[in-house]
Structure 1
């Protein structure tokens, strides 16, 4: 590097969760970082703010219980000084057994921390090819530009992959017909509350379905951990079937001819789920289990749930209803939902591309491209999925790079931890590599000496072991 560039030890491209976390961790270790972010000069189709670390899909960071793999990952990040988790905790909104944030306050807090750090310089411009400086971390996220993705594909000699991710609509709280809906926690936790605005602000939200736990036991754990006080829009059988038919028949935004549509299973558009079978939604995001309509005393046939988008509960997200329907169709179909007949839509649902590489084939143990030493990948471009996982990938990448720059032997997080599980996923070869949230399958299994434990008990023991091993790894530092 030369000129102004010589004043920096590392270049980080991308000011999302992974890029901000990586830049912060490197700077905290005494390294000078140049963080390059294209906003405000250019935004992706999914972005609406000029702040860094913008959460574009949901405000939920999912389950908090240690018996949940992502809950363990969050606790590990807290213990090792993650910027993203500190800002998330500081800007959290009521969410029962989940961690959800006020997304504007969260982005403000992250941006403020990055811009104020004495060893981080922020440069606003678009990067269209892999920078010549080394080392560099590419953390450009799911909407990596076509030009940069093409540069990356040419460098590694492998075709990058793409699929569509979808965003759920948001409605104004004032436009909900509160006489037709109610608030209630699942499984009798928190009781049922009819929709007055004072109570509305006191209620909490459940984890986003996009968490997509890996098995039925974890799905149950998530529910028992606190599906707290969503707004419930109840359907009878006829209403539900008409709604499903409308979703299937709706006019959708089609992919361009040269783009292959490959959805992430944890964030399927609602109309894709509906097309898989009439009862798919009723056993998915619209399952009525654990809910009783106070007007009838019975469980509805199906329920569409709404989650508060901000601390004041002025807006609500249609949980699990990511969509690629055209805007006019969204207004028509979603106003079939009981209580949303006259809903004001503050944000329409949309789809966006997610670009990622075949990490097991391309990345080495330090998340470094084998074909281009000094070029590291972090976040969703490497194939992790989810807000917490993206921040964790940025953290791990920074830690390993810092070790390299100090000429130390690599000391990755132990494979018994959720942070180690991030690396396990990135290195685990698959017939067709796909992005993934953190799951217990990414964490080293228990020793057989523990005997046969029920799933939840096994997860709790694994979490205890993970935190113990993490603390030892971190202390050895």
Structure 2
């Protein structure tokens, strides 16, 4: 049987390799790390989480990304299996111990008898054979140039930012307290999954002043890439209005300060556990492009973090993605070279879960083709089907931008003679999707 070659061992490449190997197709996984590093990666492990440690909402009845979790699990997804195995308390979100998670994905892939490994950088598009390019947003310069040369157009790009991580022991718990927003969670551990740092109005105003005045990373002359709205740096949000952060990641609702229950905080900074030991916490929503020295000065203005020690400071990097609606067919193949598929964030989906889901589909479709079969994409009223429909023709090519999964990508629900409330409508979306995805799997 012919082999399937996969370039990139991130979320998409790892999931694609697993799906194809489980289908009985031999896989060669090419990963340039650690011999060739990137700005954001720290290890050579597969499926390394470089930004947040969260797969977002795990609600599979009223949330589109939670539904995507459900579909990936139903399809035997490795990423979702390992995420659940290494999950951390995070209210209604699926957060994981990032190092243990990627280590376990790496272990499972290396133990699979149908998967072999060829380390090193692939610098050109392969001429023949079956290939999946899942190099993600940090595609190496040489390969990105080869893709641009083949497609005849510049790859599109946007900027992505990383939030800092704090050592838990350095947080002042006489100021901070443990609580999930609205006490969400079925257990006490879930209900107290976050550390909360309260701010008065005066403290908030001083923080905003410092944030706006801080020295930031400047882009190269001529750089025109924008930001992905789902991962805006906090200083960019602050520039849009002084109250923006207070209605975003610093909103004070659903929280009661156990040290001073009668006083309502003007703003609250939340930290979410980043590892199973509980020794590391990331500052939720605090992606930043501030220079390192400025970060420590500004973040130590947050009550409870005056003496904080940082395991990792934030940063910003350029993400590359292709104009999939013009370049890919409905099976995720490059129209000009059908032996090559693209998968993951480079296709214009945004987020760990969405990237892994597109890897799952690409791996299954490539395996089916190698075995002489044709696997159609899932129906458009499933989460995976909605995503692949969007990137392979549903989106407007002229304005194509990275997209998280959301119910706006799904075919509308028939109201059947009456208007549905939002919760009922979302439940109808997920019920319909689960039935359709189960049938597609069969």
TM-score, normalized by length of structure 1?
0.89
Map 1:2-41 onto structure 2 (within 5 A).
Answer: 8-41=2-35
CA distance in 1, matches of 2:295, 2:147: 36
Q: Residue 133 in 1 paired to residue 128 in 2?
A: yes
1:409 Cα offset (Å): 3.7
Q: Residue 406 in 1 paired to residue 401 in 2?
A: no
Q: Residue 294 in 1 paired to residue 262 in 2?
A: no
CA distance in 2, matches of 1:59, 1:385: 15
Map 1:105-184 onto structure 2 (within 5 A).
Answer: 105-184=100-179
1:395 Cα offset (Å): 0.5
Q: What is the match of residue 386 of structure 1? A: 351
1:256 Cα offset (Å): 1.5
Q: What is the match of residue 323 of structure 1? A: 288
Count, aligned residues: 438
SS of residue paired to 1:84: helix
CA spacing shift, 1:128–1:259, aligned 2, 3 Å: farther
Match of 1:432 among 376, 399, 402: 399
Q: Which sections of structure 1, spanning at least 5 residues, go unmatched?
A: 1-6, 192-198, 205-225
CA spacing shift, 1:450–1:147, aligned 2, 3 Å: farther
1:78 Cα offset (Å): 0.4
CA distance in 2, matches of 1:119, 1:385: 29
Map 1:63-142 onto structure 2 (within 5 A).
Answer: 63-66=57-60, 67-142=62-137
Match of 2:55 among 57, 61, 66: 61
Match of 1:252 among 205, 213, 216: 216
CA distance in 2, matches of 1:243, 1:389: 34
Q: What is the match of residue 419 of structure 2? A: 452
CA distance in 2, matches of 1:247, 1:454: 40
CA distance in 2, matches of 1:188, 1:108: 31
CA distance in 2, matches of 1:232, 1:203: 15
Residues 269-316 of structure 1: CA deviation (Å, up to 9, x unaligned): 011001110000000000001112233323200001111111121011
Q: Residue 418 in 1 paired to residue 383 in 2?
A: yes
Q: What is the match of residue 40 of structure 2? A: 46
1:24 Cα offset (Å): 1.0
Q: Residue 285 in 1 paired to residue 280 in 2?
A: no
Q: What is the match of residue 300 of structure 2? A: 335
1:127 Cα offset (Å): 1.1
SS of residue paired to 2:248: coil
1:434 Cα offset (Å): 0.5
SS of residue paired to 2:384: helix
CA distance in 1, matches of 2:379, 2:263: 48
SS of residue paired to 1:35: strand
Displacement over 6 Å in runs of 4+: none
SS of residue paired to 1:137: strand
CA distance in 2, matches of 1:188, 1:99: 16
1:473 Cα offset (Å): 1.3
SS of residue paired to 1:320: coil
SS of residue paired to 2:137: coil
Q: What is the match of residue 319 of structure 2? A: 354
Q: What is the match of residue 216 of structure 1? A: none
Q: Given that residues 156 and 372 in structure 1 are in contact (C-alpha distance below 8 angstroms), is that contact kept between their aligned partners in structure 2?
A: no
Q: What is the match of residue 440 of structure 2? A: 473
Q: Given that residues 331 and 376 in structure 2 are in contact (C-alpha distance below 8 angstroms), is that contact kept between their aligned partners in structure 1?
A: no
1:157 Cα offset (Å): 1.0
Q: Given that residues 289 and 299 in structure 1 are in contact (C-alpha distance below 8 angstroms), is that contact kept between their aligned partners in structure 2?
A: no
CA distance in 2, matches of 1:464, 1:272: 38
1:34 Cα offset (Å): 0.8
Q: Given that residues 162 and 261 in structure 1 are in contact (C-alpha distance below 8 angstroms), is that contact kept between their aligned partners in structure 2?
A: yes
TM-score, normalized by length of structure 2?
0.96
Residues 164-200 of structure 1: CA deviation (Å, up to 9, x unaligned): 1000001111111111111123225479xxxxxxx9x
Q: Which sections of structure 2, spanning at least 5 residues, go unmatched?
A: none
CA spacing shift, 1:189–1:409, aligned 2, 3 Å: closer
CA spacing shift, 1:378–1:295, aligned 2, 3 Å: same
Q: Given that residues 11 and 133 in structure 1 are in contact (C-alpha distance below 8 angstroms), is that contact kept between their aligned partners in structure 2?
A: no
CA distance in 2, matches of 1:393, 1:471: 17
Map 1:235-250 onto structure 2 (within 5 A).
Answer: 235-250=199-214
Q: What is the match of residue 4 of structure 1? A: none
CA distance in 2, matches of 1:154, 1:329: 39
Q: What is the match of residue 264 of structure 1? A: 228
Q: Residue 310 in 1 paired to residue 275 in 2?
A: yes
SS of residue paired to 1:165: strand
CA distance in 2, matches of 1:119, 1:438: 31
Q: Residue 274 in 1 paired to residue 238 in 2?
A: yes
Q: What is the match of residue 328 of structure 2? A: 363
CA spacing shift, 1:346–1:369, aligned 2, 3 Å: same
Residues 293-350 of structure 1: CA deviation (Å, up to 9, x unaligned): 2333232000011111111210110100000100000010000000000100110001
